[in-house]
Amino acid sequence: MRLDRSSKIHFLAGVCLPELKLDNLFIHVYVKVNFFENWKGKMNKRIVISGSCRTPVGRFAGRLKSVKAQELLRTCFKGSLEKAGIQIENIDSVVASTCVHSPNAMNVARVAILLAGLPDDAVDTYNKGEYLKEEVVEKSRARNITAFTPSFNCGSGVQAVISAVHEIVAGDSRVVLVGGTESMSNSPMLLERGSGSKMRDSLLEDSLVHGLRDPLTGELMGRIAENTVEKYGVSREEQDLFAVESHTRAYEAISSGKFETEIVPVKSIEKGMLGDIRESEIYEDEGPNPTLTVSKLATLKSYFKKDGTITPANSCTVNDGAASFLVMELERALELGVTLEAEILGYGKAAGDPSHMGEGPIWAIPKALKMAGLTEGQIDFFEINEAFAGVVLATKKHFQIPGDRLNIRGGAVALGHPVGTSGAKLLTTLIHILHDFKKDYGLVSLCVGNGQGIALVIKRFV
């Protein structure tokens, strides 16, 4: 006997769950199947973004070194709520990414949202290194909001957005506070626990160095990026020129105030040599260096491979920073009277040979464009993560992206790459670029360690 699709579902439901009323179960199962069939092509709900903001990006061991990842994220959460114009009680759930997990905030999304629901004096006490009393924490306005922390290496910030989209499409949430945070300056040192109580020496290992290696081959990400650079014929000169341009564009964006609308300042609290407390407010990115020239960069030796082309100067830096925004169902956003910024049109994730990790955007971008129903030629601005200048140039060559539409305010080579934050940070910057230029479509993409890529397409909301 040959059954059509609906008959198969009807038949299997009756066999597996005969005690239930078959007609009702058939309707329920049939609707669910068709829901997911539609989801494969285009999103069945209009999902929008509001309240996009980010902290300044700090250098490794720079001005943000004393600020915990959860405080960076809390600062952004407060900024997003204020920009969007809604109360914390309107949030259904939180999804915020990180890669360098802090032992005292393993689920940093939950820690940050609880802090965001506390009064400032309680937050100040916590940031001075003191634990809070139970009766203080239980009064957090965010105590009933669920939160989780995804980790997708360099693509974590975009994965957080995708996870929020899934929650909304599934009907689990209507308003999701989304973000990413990283304090690479506070990455822990590791000591192997060992076994038994044998007398022996133990060596501390840097968790950050481990995180920047391929877990299977042990190769540093820069060595793996050399494979992509060679495959796409990207020269050393092209990479150095791109790096200088990244610094120039970022410095000009800072000098002209282009980042001011997206940055929320961060309060840094440090203990002085004599135990005194020093407070300062940080409101500007630390990384860009306008004095760099191609001739200066040409003097540097390749770092990851003998006779290679990738150097520390045409690679990203490791950094501290956070970004956040609200992702919500359009209908709910209109009910709340939220100021809308962008609509999510599609996304794509892809995987391939880990030894060609740098091709991740080349694999993922077509999937995102397909879901969005667009071509690369329709995208007004691209934000492609500058993990390495050569990786971005390979993507640029593959899709023939004009230079005046790519990373127009600089990228990670100049501004830095706080890994778990970068996807959310790039999306924040892209939203502001689209509004500044009154253009419609933007795309964010990142290569992802261990052979993956991720991309997201948005449209300016008008």
Contact between 439 and 405 under an 8 Å Cβ cutoff? The reply is: no
Cα–Cα separations (whole angstroms), residue 25 to 12, 16, 298: 11, 11, 69
pLDDT at 279: 85
DSSP state string for 49-100:
EEEEEEPPPEETTSTTTTS-HHHHHHHHHHHHHHHHT--GGG--EEEEE-SS
Running along the chain, 462 residues long, what does each successive block of 10 average in pLDDT? Answer: 41 39 43 41 86 98 96 98 97 98 94 98 94 97 98 98 98 98 95 68 88 94 98 98 98 98 92 77 96 97 96 98 98 97 98 97 98 98 98 98 98 98 98 98 98 98 95
Distance CA 179, CA 177 (A): 7
Closest CA relative to residue 39, chosen from 171, 135, 156, 149? 171
Ordered structural domains, the chain, with CATH: 47-187+213-460 (3.40.47.10)
Contact between 203 and 120 under an 8 Å Cβ cutoff? The reply is: no
Q: Please, which residues bridge with residue 93 across strands?
A: 146, 176
Strand 342-351, strand 452-460: pairing: antiparallel
pLDDT at 194: 65
Kindly list the catalytic residues: 154, 417, 447
Closest CA relative to residue 314, chosen from 286, 330, 343, 292? 292
- Give the contacts of 200 (CB within 8 A, at least 6 positions apart): 194
pLDDT at 269: 78
Count other Cβ atoms within 10 Å, centred on residue 67: 25
Which SS3 state, helix, strand or coil, does residue 442 take? strand
Q: Supply the pTM of this predicted model.
A: 0.90
DSSP state string for 382-415:
EEE--SBHHHHHHHHHHHT--GGGBSTT--HHHH
Cα–Cα separations (whole angstroms), residue 34 to 31, 46, 167, 196: 5, 18, 18, 56
